[in-house]
Structure 1
Amino acid sequence: MLTKTPLTNKVTWINIHTEDKSELKRVYQSYEIDEEIVDYSLDENERAHLDYDQRTNTFVLIFNVTNPLKNDNHYETIPMTFIIKDNTLLTVTNELNYYVLDIMMKQVAAEKVESIFQFLFASLFMIIDSFFPYVEEMDRERKLINNKLKQKTTKQNLLVLSDLETGIIYFVSASKQNVVLLEQVKAHQIFRLLTESEKERLDDVLIEARQLVEMTQLSSQILQQLSGTYNNVLNNNLNDTMKILTVLSILLTVPTIITGFFGMNMPLPLEHNIFGWMITIGISVVLWLALSFILNRLMK
C-alpha cells in the first residue's frame, strides 16, 4: 500500500507499507532505485547504516526504531528504511514500525516543511524521542522489581530482572548504531550540500541521539549492578546453607561413632554395667558439645 503526502510544491513523501519483496521491488524499479536496497528494507536484522549511490543520486538511511510490542517479555528495536531520491522521500514500513508514520504525520502538521532533509531530520528527532518513554518504563519496572527482591529474592523476580536487562541491551545497541549513522551523515559529502538550517537540525538530532545513548547505558549499568548484587546474595545464602549442613553432618558423626563402637560384637567396657547406656549417651553429649564449641569458634 502506497501513501503519498505532498510536503511542498516540489517535495513528496511516499510511504510504502508492505512486507512483499516483489511489490517493493516494483516500486523501487519505478524510481530507479538499486534492487540491493530491497533486501535492506525488508531485513528485520539489518544494522543502522548509510548508503549513497552517486550514479542515481540515491541517499539511503537504515535507522533503528522501537518495537512497541514486547517479545519474550522484553522490548526490542527494528530497522526502518528512509530513501531520498531527487525530491522524493520514500519510507518503508511494516506492521511493527507502522506507528512511525503517525509520528511523521504529526511533524507535517506541526511545522511547515521547508526541505526534504529538514523534514527527514525533524522526523528522526521525534523517532529518537519515542525511545525515552520505553526507557523510563523499564526504569520504573526496575525499581519495582528491586523493591520486591529486597523483600524476597525469588526466581520469578530474577527472571523479570533478566528480561529488563535483555531489553535495555537492545536499546543500548540500537541507540549507539543510530549515533554512528548520524555521525556518518556529518562526515559524508552530502553534508556539504545542506543548508545551515538543515545542518542545525542534524546537530539537534545527534545531540538527542547521544543523550539517549547515555540514558540507556546508565540504565544498563544499574541493571547489571543489581543483577550482580543479587547473584552475590544468592551465592552467599548458598554458602551459609552449605556451612550449616556441613556443621550438622560433622556433629551427627559423634553419636554415630560412639554408638557404633559400643555396638560391636566383642567384649567392651561398660557392657555389664546397668548404667552403661546412660554413660554412653553422656559421653556422646559431652563430645558433641565440645565439638560444637570448637566449630563455633572456627566459624567466627
Structure 2
Amino acid sequence: MIQFYLTEHNRMVKIPSFTEGCWINVISPTVDEISYLVDQLQLDRDFVRAALDEEESSRIENEDDQTLVLVDIPFLTSEDNDTVLYTTRPLGIIMTETNIVTISLQNNTVISDFANGMIRNVQTQLKTRFLLRILLRGATQYLTYLKQIDKITSSLESKLDKSMKNRLLMQLLGLEKSLVYFSTSLKADEITLEKILRGRIIKMYEEDQDLLEDVLIEVKQAIEMASIYSRTLSSTMDAFSSVINNNLNIVMKILTAVTVLLEIPNMVFSFYGMNIDGGLWMDRFQWAPLGIAILLTLIAAIILFKAKMFK
C-alpha cells in the first residue's frame, strides 16, 4: 500500500498522487509497488530492500542524494485474553531532495498517528523536522508500552499470589522476552540517533538540534525503564520459581511422612502372615497385630510431627 500526504494549512491531508514536498507512506508493498518506488520515484533499491528486511538493524546510510534512517519501533504482536506480547520491527525512512518516504512491513501506531492527523504542527515539506518528529513518536511509543508492561506484570503477580498457574507464568515469560527485544532495539536506535546528532549526514538547524536532543532523552529514558523492568521481572520470576520449588519440597516431605506411616502396619501384618513352625505368640491374641500396628503408627506420627514433617 502506498499513500501520499501533504501538509495544507497545518493539517495533514491525503492526496491522490505524488507531488514534491509530500510524505509517501509505504506499508507492506507488493512487487509492483516496489517497482514503482524504484523505477518511478527513483528510490535506491538497496534502501527499499533494507527497510523491508525484518533482520536489519538500526543504522543510517547516505547514498548520492538519498539518506536512509533505519530504526526499530515497538509493535503489539498479539493479545489473547490477558496475554499481551510485544516485539519490534524496522521502520525505514528515506529522505530525498524533495520528499520523505516511510517504509514498514505492517501498519503501526507511530505512522498511523501522523496519517490520521493526531500529531500537530507537522510539515511534510520540512523533511528533517518531520523525520525527528517520527523518531520522537517512536520513542514515546516505547515509553507507553513499557508502562503497559509494568501494569500487566503487577496484575499477573497479584494473580500468581492466589494461584500458581502455568498460563500466568508463561505470560510473565513473554513479557520478559518483550523487554529483551525493547532493550536491544533501543540501544541500536540510540547509536543511530547519536550519529545523526553529529550532523555529518543530515544537515540540521538549531531547532532541529533541540528536537533531536529531546528524542535522545526519551530513548535514554526508555532504555533505563526497560532495564529496570527487566531486572524486576527477572527477580520476580526467580522468586516464583523458588516458591514453586519450596511448595514441591513440602508436598514431597508430607508424602514421605505418610508413606512411612502406611508402611508400619504393612510390616506388622507381614510378620503376622509368615509361616513359622509353632506359630507366633500373636496367634493366641487375635487383636495383638492390630494394636501393635496402631501403637507403632502413633509413635511414628508423633516423632514425624515433632520433626515438622507435616508443615
What TM bracket, shorter-length normalisation? 0.7 to 0.9
Q: Report the residue type matching 2:56 in the other structure.
A: E
Output the TM-score relative to the length of structure 2: 0.82
Equivalent position of 1:61 in the other structure: 69
Q: Distance in 1 between matches of 2:242 and 2:186?
A: 30
Give the alignment of 1:180-259 within 5 angstroms: 180-187=191-198, 189-190=200-201, 193-259=203-269
Task: Report if the CA contact (8 A) 2:110-2:141 is conserved.
Answer: no
Q: Distance in 1 between matches of 2:191 and 2:106?
A: 26
Unmatched tracts of structure 1, length 5 or more? none
Q: Cα deviations across residues 164-199 of structure 1 (Å, max 9, x unaligned)? A: 3333333233222222221232356326x4333222
The answer to whether 1:294 aligns with 2:295 is: no
In structure 2, the CA distance between the partners of 1:35 and 1:45, relative to structure 1 (3 Å rule), is: same
Shift of 1:49: 2.0
Shift of 1:297: 4.2
Give the alignment of 1:59-208 within 5 angstroms: 59-70=67-78, 73=83, 74-97=85-108, 100-103=111-114, 106=117, 109-111=120-122, 115-187=126-198, 189-190=200-201, 193-208=203-218
The answer to whether 1:264 aligns with 2:274 is: yes
In structure 2, the CA distance between the partners of 1:109 and 1:248, relative to structure 1 (3 Å rule), is: closer
Shift of 1:59: 1.3
The answer to whether 1:5 aligns with 2:6 is: yes
User: What is the root-mean-square deviation in Å for CA atoms of aligned residues?
Assistant: 2.9
Q: Cα deviations across residues 227-260 of structure 1 (Å, max 9, x unaligned)? A: 2211111111111001111111122221111110
Q: Report the residue type matching 1:43 in the other structure.
A: D
Equivalent position of 2:16 in the other structure: none
Task: Report if the CA contact (8 A) 1:254-1:284 is conserved.
Answer: yes
Q: Distance in 2 between matches of 1:112 and 1:91?
A: 15
Q: Report the residue type matching 2:221 in the other structure.
A: Q
In structure 2, the CA distance between the partners of 1:203 and 1:155, relative to structure 1 (3 Å rule), is: same
Task: Report if the CA contact (8 A) 2:139-2:218 is conserved.
Answer: yes
In structure 2, the CA distance between the partners of 1:219 and 1:108, relative to structure 1 (3 Å rule), is: closer
Q: Give the structure with the larger helix fraction.
A: 1
Q: Cα deviations across residues 108-157 of structure 1 (Å, max 9, x unaligned)? A: 74256784212211221122112223222222222222111112222332
In structure 2, the CA distance between the partners of 1:284 and 1:68, relative to structure 1 (3 Å rule), is: closer
Task: Report if the CA contact (8 A) 1:3-1:14 is conserved.
Answer: yes
Percent sequence identity over aligned pairs: 24
Task: Report if the CA contact (8 A) 2:90-2:104 is conserved.
Answer: no
The answer to whether 1:280 aligns with 2:281 is: no
Q: Distance in 1 between matches of 2:281 and 2:293?
A: 15
Unmatched tracts of structure 2, length 5 or more? 11-18
Output the TM-score relative to the length of structure 1: 0.85
Q: Distance in 2 between matches of 1:285 and 1:46?
A: 74
Task: Report if the CA contact (8 A) 1:14-1:91 is conserved.
Answer: yes
Q: Distance in 2 between matches of 1:69 and 1:147?
A: 24
Q: Report the residue type matching 2:248 in the other structure.
A: L
Q: Distance in 2 between matches of 1:136 and 1:187?
A: 31
